[in-house]
Structure 1
Amino acid sequence: MAQAVNQQKRINLLRLAFLLVLPILLFVPPHLPLYSEGHEVIEAIGTLILIAGVLGRFWSILYVGGHKNAQVMQDGPYSMTRNPLYFFSTVAAFGIGLMLGAFSFAILLASVVGTILYITARREAAFLSGHFGADYAAYAARVPFFIPDPRLYHTRTQVMFNARSLRSNLFDALVFLSFIPLVELIDGFKAAISFTGFNLW
């Protein structure tokens, strides 16, 4: 039988990936000039997408926190996709890339994060399939693996949430949201460097 996925290892891998990305952000060329109207619009859209991803992660944790690998969660976001937490994390990563005004980098960053989480989700699915058998098989036959289908949404009237899991997710949310002021600092740095005549790109 497949073993349960080590979630701490997955979390540490993603945090390491984000640390490695930080210096790269300085060299990501925006598609439009810094502080131009077009660049600001793209950055604002990226910020909204990032916030949507973070809120989606919170929504998912409210349902699955404390129940992961203990039952087949099928309500709320889990009624639309089997991996909403990973889907919304990928959305948030795309938002971070877009905040830099670089659509191609946004796709690259979301692809890297999405690939890591997709592989993790596949390993989790193997464990859940072996652990829950027919219950998980029926769920998997009805609900998409990664991309949500809003038409399938349903939920119970009341949901119990785990405060410890919510606190842990709050830290991860702050890591994501820290990119909002960080991108502003990076834009300022790029503008100052450009003003001196030196071109990072």
Structure 2
Amino acid sequence: MDNEIPDAEARRALGVYQSMRRLVLAVVIVLMFVTLLFGQATFPPATFVHEFLEMIGVLLIFLGIVGRLWATLYIGGRKSDSVVTGGPYSITRNPLYVFSTMAAVGVGAQMGSIVVTVAFGVVCAAAFHLVILREEKFLKKALGEPYKAYLDRVPRFIPNFSLYQEGDTGSFKPRLLLNTLLDGLVFLVALPFFEVIDSAQASGTVPVLFHLP
């Protein structure tokens, strides 16, 4: 096939995109934590809205981590070798990014601010969108017509649950699953981090520069 890419070249290119994905995620997380460090919600911690957002946020963080592990079970290093269409990849082409965005929303919710919760999701999704577009361009060349047919059938980001198919997980690679777990655990740092921030802001150690609803 004319549009096939040599295996070594494909793996190098995919490695670049995976590194880019981690870099984007790291930058977004750092910006999020800086915002959370010096900001405070207008809803006091004891109010229903604040408590409810925190609770939903914890749920989203855990769902995001579990979802990333689920997606890794299916993709398993096969991204440049074949079109993976089972499990989460049957309802969205980029489940790893979807679940990462979900976890980012959960991190934002820990501030108890509706604005921050929504903003974290929008910023994370927009950042990943740029990576997704470059990945798609590469995969069209690497995988050819089967991937183009997959593009026509499955949505890029917002899941379509009516398309769900179990599919095949392929060969299981514990190392990839471990790497995904370690990446995802970064989101869990938000939970104790917010407790420290709340205490530091309450004591005046960390200044509150702005308030958000």
**TM-score, normalised relative to structure 1:** 0.89
**Corresponding residue for residue 132 of structure 1:** 143
Secondary structure, counterpart of 1:29 in structure 2: strand
**Corresponding residue for residue 121 of structure 1:** 132
Amino acid at match of 1:39: H
Distance of 1:200 and 1:81 partners within structure 2: 39
Amino acid at match of 2:176: S
**Corresponding residue for residue 111 of structure 1:** 122
Q: Deviations over 1:47-66 (max 9, x none)?
A: 11111111111111111122
1:15-94 maps to which residues of 2 (within 5 A)? Answer: 15-94=26-105
Percent identity among equivalent residues?
38
Amino acid at match of 2:94: N
Farther-moved stretch of structure 1 (47-56 vs 73-82): 47-56
1:157-196 maps to which residues of 2 (within 5 A)? Answer: 159-193=170-204
1:17 Cα offset (Å): 3.0
Distance 1:109-1:85 versus aligned 2 partners, 3 A rule: same
1:158 Cα offset (Å): 6.0
1:23 Cα offset (Å): 2.6
Q: Deviations over 1:131-166 (max 9, x none)?
A: 222101111111101110111101136653211111
Contact 1:28 1:105 in 2 (8 A): no
Amino acid at match of 1:49: L
Secondary structure, counterpart of 2:40 in structure 1: coil
Distance of 2:168 and 2:153 partners within structure 1: 21
1:192 Cα offset (Å): 2.8
Contact 2:91 2:162 in 1 (8 A): yes
Distance 1:125-1:157 versus aligned 2 partners, 3 A rule: closer
1:129 Cα offset (Å): 1.2
Distance of 1:163 and 1:53 partners within structure 2: 19
Contact 1:50 1:92 in 2 (8 A): yes
Distance of 2:208 and 2:153 partners within structure 1: 52
Farther-moved stretch of structure 1 (1-10 vs 84-93): 1-10
Residues matched between the structures, number:
198
Is there any run of 5+ residues in structure 1 with no aligned partner, and where? none
Distance of 1:15 and 1:187 partners within structure 2: 23
